[in-house]
């Protein structure tokens, strides 16, 4: 039996190896989506495909890789996995994501014996899907790009140039796609080498025993966290704007959460059946988003391991929105970005002191693409926008931070976007009055205004524009996310998810959502409201209307008598 000190040393060396994988990937990748936004998930796994250590990235990818790796092991067969191999997988129903979120795996051997795997999943720019950039209205998986069903891109240490050529000749952005793929392979190989060094240092038996102990300890921590949670069953519903095909139909996400002494069960059975458009979720993504919430509630202050998720059980029947089956389209994974807050909405009924009101509720992605006359080459850049977080029992929601499904990610800086694309960012600011009024105010969303300097295409990825971020305990809803095309013109349009041709000098405004408020707004301290007005978070009109606080618009001084009259009436 390995001693606890050795286990801890091995665990932290594995975490260090995972972070080196991340640094390697970010320093060698070609696309800002990878090295700026951090649209990746990577880690180190045991021989069964269970997580030992990870590095920060797209948080919703944490368990997506587990699910994908287990499927890859089953499909390829252990006997066919050899030293020096790197395997690609992007078949959505096995890989947990859409075709452009490609997973790569490398086995780790020591003296001819398999001791684990490394994995890295990143967003590729293009794989011959029907539309450049992103697909919003596919009706069949075969419109969503080419599949790699556990394909060896590296075989016994040799890069398979025929597979590279398939990628190269099936991508509209060949150099960046191939470059990112090679960076991904490099990250996996780097991680494998570091783990081999750890095994050599501590011995194979102690390394494998330490891996089992890391998982066992993770489970103990999760069960201790579970024991502190209220017990009961709660249900909630929220909606995706549309499926991208039937644009006038809201799509239901419904979950029932049960917490007992033994487990946490998240049941998605009452959600809509899978739909015509591409918002259906592969089961692995449903598992990942449910695990993210479980992790946040039970072991938020410790590194993720497979053991953290043993007390979690997820129910999603095949053919359900949350468990897509072939050939259902899955490209627009926005259901997976919205559904986590449905779990929180259910849990808020049983633990209002621990759960915040809804955040801005969406990732609010804007993607631009076209031909850049400066270089004569095609361009594609994107960024996700920060949102306001919900007010909570302990205070106001935070302004403008990345959505909970992307807690390890960043947005694309203004300077990078302007250098890499023919776009000018004319405004980047907080949205006044976007946070839901409450005793504790919701955080503010963001406004970013893009001017296209050349004819281009804009893809807007927002799926929570028809419902608002919910408040709690009497708090009001926040303002929702939306995009505005060509503001202040005859062609102005407020939209959610669209693929739109933009002429030179036309403008797109991305307004991200504010968080919901917590508690009755008229119970907010008038001095806090005054401070919000002076900071520009709340307008004088909103202070009066929503909070019952009178503030002199000229002097920005509090009118106590006027406030008393407003609140008493």
- Residues 547-565: what's their mean pLDDT? 96
Tell me the pLDDT band of 38, cut-offs 50, 70 and 90.
very high
Determine if the peptide bond prior to 327 is cis (ω within 30°).
yes
Tell me the pLDDT band of 406, cut-offs 50, 70 and 90.
confident
85 φ/ψ sector (left φ>0, alpha ψ -120 to 50, else beta): beta
- Helix axes 540-547 and 526-535, enclosed angle (nearest 10): 150
Task: Give yes or no for a contact between 489 and 380, defined as CB atoms under 8 angstroms apart.
Answer: no
pLDDT of residue 420: 96
Identify the residue whose tokens are 């086995």: 107
The answer, yes or no, to whether residue 569 has pLDDT greater than 90, is no
pLDDT of residue 356: 97
Taking only the tens place, the pLDDT of each residue in 166-198 is 999 999 999 999 999 999 999 999 999 999 999
DSSP H helices, 362-447, are 414-420
How far apart CA 480 and CA 203 sit, in angstroms, is 55
Task: Give yes or no for a contact between 131 and 144, defined as CB atoms under 8 angstroms apart.
Answer: no
pLDDT of residue 419: 96
How far apart CA 517 and CA 479 sit, in angstroms, is 11
Tell me the pLDDT band of 407, cut-offs 50, 70 and 90.
confident
Taking alpha carbons only, the member of 140, 149, 122, 151 closest to residue 64 is 122
84 φ/ψ sector (left φ>0, alpha ψ -120 to 50, else beta): left
pLDDT of residue 147: 98
Q: What angle do CA 234, 357, 482 make, to 5 degrees?
A: 115
Q: Is the dihedral of CA 152, 157, 159, 162 positive or negative?
A: negative
The answer, yes or no, to whether residue 1 has pLDDT greater than 90, is no
How far apart CA 107 and CA 117 sit, in angstroms, is 4
Other CB atoms within 10 A of residue 38 CB: 21
pLDDT of residue 75: 98
The beta strand positions in 51-146, using DSSP E, are: 51-55, 86-89, 101-110, 113-123
Taking only the tens place, the pLDDT of each residue in 81-132 is 999 999 999 999 999 999 999 999 999 999 999 999 999 999 999 999 999 9
pLDDT of residue 305: 97
Using alpha carbons, list the distances in angstroms from residue 408 to 45, 58, 95, 324, 363. Answer: 20, 5, 20, 27, 13
pLDDT of residue 59: 86
Pairing of strands 264-267, 312-315: parallel
Taking only the tens place, the pLDDT of each residue in 282-341 is 999 999 999 999 999 999 999 999 999 999 999 999 999 999 999 999 999 999 999 999
Share of the chain above pLDDT 70, in %: 100
Taking only the tens place, the pLDDT of each residue in 342-381 is 999 999 999 999 999 999 989 999 999 999 999 999 999 9
pLDDT of residue 302: 96
pLDDT of residue 139: 98
Tell me the pLDDT band of 60, cut-offs 50, 70 and 90.
confident
Taking alpha carbons only, the member of 461, 213, 238 closest to residue 338 is 238
3-state secondary structure of 61: helix
Read off the tokens for 203.
Answer: 């011995």
Taking alpha carbons only, the member of 280, 242, 272, 236 closest to residue 257 is 236
Q: Phi/psi at 174 (nearest 5 deg)?
A: -60, -45
Residues β-bridged to residue 114: 109
Tell me the pLDDT band of 498, cut-offs 50, 70 and 90.
very high
Taking only the tens place, the pLDDT of each residue in 421-452 is 999 999 999 999 999 999 999 999 999 999 99
How far apart CA 491 and CA 500 sit, in angstroms, is 12
The answer, yes or no, to whether residue 15 has pLDDT greater than 90, is yes
Taking alpha carbons only, the member of 151, 92, 97, 112 closest to residue 285 is 97
């Amino acid at each position: 039996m390995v001693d606890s000190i050795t286990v801890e040393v091995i665990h932290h060396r594995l975490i260090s190896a995972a972070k080196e994988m991340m640094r390697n990937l970010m320093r060698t990748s070609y696309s800002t989506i990878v090295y700026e936004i951090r649209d990746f998930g990577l880690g180190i796994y045991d021989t069964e495909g269970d997580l030992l250590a990870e590095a920060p990235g797209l948080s919703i990818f944490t368990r997506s890789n587990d699910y994908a790796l287990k499927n890859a092991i089953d499909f390829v067969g252990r006997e066919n996995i050899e030293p020096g191999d790197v395997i690609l997988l992007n078949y959505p129903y096995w890989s947990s994501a859409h075709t452009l979120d490609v997973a790569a795996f490398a086995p780790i051997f020591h003296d001819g014996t398999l001791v684990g795997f490394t994995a890295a999943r990143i967003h590729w720019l293009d794989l011959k899907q029907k539309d450049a950039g992103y697909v919003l209205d596919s009706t069949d998986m075969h419109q969503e790009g080419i599949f790699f069903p556990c394909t060896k891109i590296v075989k016994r240490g040799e890069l398979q140039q025929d597979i590279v050529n398939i990628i190269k000749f099936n991508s509209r952005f060949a150099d960046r796609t191939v470059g990112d793929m090679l960076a991904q392979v490099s990250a996996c190989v780097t991680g494998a080498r570091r783990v081999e060094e750890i095994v050599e240092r501590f011995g194979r038996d102690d390394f494998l025993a330490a891996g089992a102990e890391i998982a066992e300890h993770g489970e103990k921590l999760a069960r201790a966290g579970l024991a502190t949670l209220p017990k009961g069953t709660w249900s909630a519903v929220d909606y995706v704007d549309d499926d991208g095909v039937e644009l006038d139909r809201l799509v239901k996400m419904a979950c029932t959460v049960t917490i007992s002494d033994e487990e946490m069960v998240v049941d998605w059975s009452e959600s809509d059946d899978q739909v015509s458009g591409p918002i259906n979720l592969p089961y692995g993504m449903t598992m990942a988003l449910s695990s993210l919430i479980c992790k946040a509630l039970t072991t938020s202050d410790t590194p993720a391991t497979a053991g953290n998720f043993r007390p979690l059980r997820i129910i999603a029947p095949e053919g359900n929105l949350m468990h897509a089956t072939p050939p259902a389209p899955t490209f627009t994974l926005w259901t997976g970005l919205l559904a986590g807050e449905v779990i929180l909405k259910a849990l808020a009924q049983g633990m209002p002191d621990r759960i915040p009101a809804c955040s801005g509720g969406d990732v609010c992605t804007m993607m631009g693409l076209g031909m850049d006359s400066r270089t004569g080459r095609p361009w594609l850049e994107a960024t996700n926008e920060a949102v306001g977080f919900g007010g909570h029992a302990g205070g106001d929601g935070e302004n403008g931070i990345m959505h909970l499904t992307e807690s390890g990610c960043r947005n694309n800086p203004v300077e990078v976007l302007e250098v890499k694309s023919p776009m000018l960012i004319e405004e980047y600011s907080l949205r006044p009055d976007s946070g839901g009024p409450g005793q504790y105010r919701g955080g503010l969303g963001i406004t970013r205004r893009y001017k296209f300097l050349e004819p281009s295409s804009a893809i807007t990825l927002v799926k929570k524009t028809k419902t608002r971020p919910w408040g709690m305990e009497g708090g009001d809803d926040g303002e929702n996310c939306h995009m505005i095309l060509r503001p202040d013109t005859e062609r102005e349009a407020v939209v959610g998810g669209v693929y739109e041709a933009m002429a030179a000098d036309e403008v797109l405004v991305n307004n991200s959502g504010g968080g919901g408020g917590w508690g009755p707004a008229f119970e907010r301290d008038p001095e806090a409201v005054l401070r919000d007005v002076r900071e520009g978070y709340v307008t004088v009109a909103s202070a009066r209307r929503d909070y019952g606080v009178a503030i002199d618009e000229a002097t920005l001084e509090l009118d106590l008598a006027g406030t008393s009259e407003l609140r008493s009436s």
